[in-house]
Amino acid sequence: MHRARRTGEAQAERPRHCPGPLGRARGRSYSVAVSYYCVFCEIVARREPADVVFEDDDVMVFRNRLNWVPVMLLAVPKQHMQQGELWTSDVMAKVSKVAAETGAKHCPNGFRLLSNFGFDAMQSQAHGHVHIIGGTYLGEYA
């Protein structure tokens, strides 16, 4: 596992494509890297297990470990980028197309695509991603 450098400690080697996840403390900038480990980069590199339901050269979709609703998938670009970078990049067109097609396939009665940005929205992973949720009536949202 890659970890952040502490005083007097050699800096851990990190993947070129993975600058690190978000700071978790309230009030801390979400661009501050507190660790070089990115679980989504590890899944893309096949160093962490995942139930992959779609993959091409640019995008991977896998099942979320959380199971609040019957279908919880994550669509991620294979290249590490922050959430804001993803949503303003050309690759978002590919991620959103794959997410919509995967949602329609796995949730024929309807699904929701969403992304969280920052602490107040409960973003937990720095690697940009889109949630695909459904498989049941989702009700109203905040």
Determine which one of 80, 106, 127, 129 is catalytic: 129
Q: How far is CA 138 from CA 28, 48, 72, 121, in A?
A: 32, 30, 12, 18
**How would you label 44-68 residue by residue, b for 16+ Cβ within 10 Å and e otherwise?**
beeeeebeebbeeeebbbbbbeeee
* Whether 87 contacts 36, CB under 8 Å: no
Known active-site residue 129: yes
Q: What is the separation of C-alpha 133 from the centre of its chain, rounded to a whole number of angstroms?
A: 14
Residues catalogued as catalytic: 129
